[in-house]
Amino acid sequence: MPAASTHARSALPPPTRRGLSREEAAGYIGVGTSKFDAMVSDGRMPKAKKIDGRRVWDVRALDQFFDALPGGDESDHNAWD
């Protein structure tokens, strides 16, 4: 089994499953389900994979889309965040 990678940006452990429900996917990226739905609709987050009648979000795709979001430098820093 490969060694687990350590994410310096989060103290939370990575999910134990690759596929997440809508609620889990929203929580994984740190937003509520309504915001997550909007981000999927506008393309900032990936669409779900269909497994039979169930929608499942791939953790790896969520990571890629999250990494592509703007920010991460001090130029857009808000002291209230």
Averaged pLDDT in 10-residue chunks for the chain of 81 residues: 50 79 97 98 98 96 97 67 61
Residue 16's pLDDT is 79
Residues 81, 79: Cα–Cα separation, whole Å: 6
Residue 37's pLDDT is 98
pTM to 2 decimals? 0.70
Alpha-carbon distances of 6 from 44, 47, 72, 75, rounded to whole Å: 25, 26, 18, 26
Residue 64's pLDDT is 97
Residue 15's pLDDT is 62
Residues 20, 43: Cα–Cα separation, whole Å: 18
Residue 74's pLDDT is 60
